[in-house]
Amino acid sequence: MRIEKKILCIMLAVMVLPVASMGQKTVYNSFPDMPVDENTKLVTYQNVVTMKGNSGELYDRAYKWANKYYKNPTAVILKHDKEKGIIECVSNIPIYTLAKDGVTKTSAGYVYYTLTIEAREGRYRYTITNIHKREQAQFPIEKWLDASRPEWTVVRYDHLHQIDEAVRKLMKDIDEGMLPPKVIVDEW
């Protein structure tokens, strides 16, 4: 009976360990390379993309993208003005903290950001800034970049990397969503 229990334990370990290790996330020990605006001193991701199209066409693509990307676009899109070619959104990124076991994730709340998309003739620009966590008041993530602050903890490395990865994924999604629709020619 003892041998059967040992064999059963070994079989379970062989089956469970690979699955459990898939959920592990790297724990970072350095700050991500987040761009900080020289004037505002805020973490600001910004990109200008040259693309064929007038401001109205590019605005329409951006508006269509925002409505498709966000689950509740009417709550996220705060301002949209086709004449000025501007869309302003406020949304959030969930962040997690790993438990001591290194596998279990617990919610650490949400980090909010402002996304502004501006369309002009032959180009568009998007800016992601005002990244903050809502606590008793807004807590800008720029404070998380200062390891000398008394409330700073090592888990901020992981949170900042999660934010950076999510914003870069958002930027890639915007770029893909702004591509002109493919024209399908039916040659038969």
pLDDT of residue 186: 79
Q: Is 92 helix (H, G, I), strand (E, B) or coil?
A: strand
pLDDT at residue 59, rounded to an integer:
97
Question: Residue type for 11, please?
Answer: M
Residue 146 tokens, joined: 């200062």
Q: Residue 4's pLDDT is what?
A: 56
Q: Where are the alpha helices (DSSP H) in 23-154?
A: 55-69, 73-76
- The pLDDT score that the predictor gives to residue 2 is 58
- Nearest to residue 37, comparing CAs of 114, 124, 93? 114
Residue 35 tokens, joined: 């761009």
The per-residue pLDDT for 28 is 65
Query: Which pTM value belongs to this model?
Result: 0.80
Reading the chain (188 residues) residue by residue, the pLDDT tens digits are 555 554 444 444 434 333 333 333 446 677 899 999 999 999 999 999 999 999 999 999 999 999 999 999 999 999 999 999 999 999 999 999 988 877 888 999 999 999 999 999 999 999 999 999 988 778 899 998 888 988 888 889 999 999 999 999 999 999 999 999 887 887 87
φ, ψ for residue 178, nearest 5 deg: -90, -5
**Residue 102 backbone class (left: φ over 0; alpha: ψ -120 to 50; beta: rest):** left
Q: Give CA–CA dist 166/183, Å, rounded.
A: 31
- Distance, CA of 84 to CA of 59 (rounded, Å): 9
Helices (H), 23-132: 55-69, 73-76
Domain ranges of the chain: 41-177
Rounded Cα–Cα distance for residues 7 and 9 (Å): 5
Bridging pattern class, strands 105-120 and 86-98: antiparallel
Among candidate residues 84, 14, 49, 19, the one with its CA nearest the CA of residue 180: 49
**Length of the chain in terms of residues written:** 188
CATH number for domain 41-177, candidates 3.30.530.80, 3.40.50.1950, 3.40.980.10, 3.40.50.280: 3.30.530.80
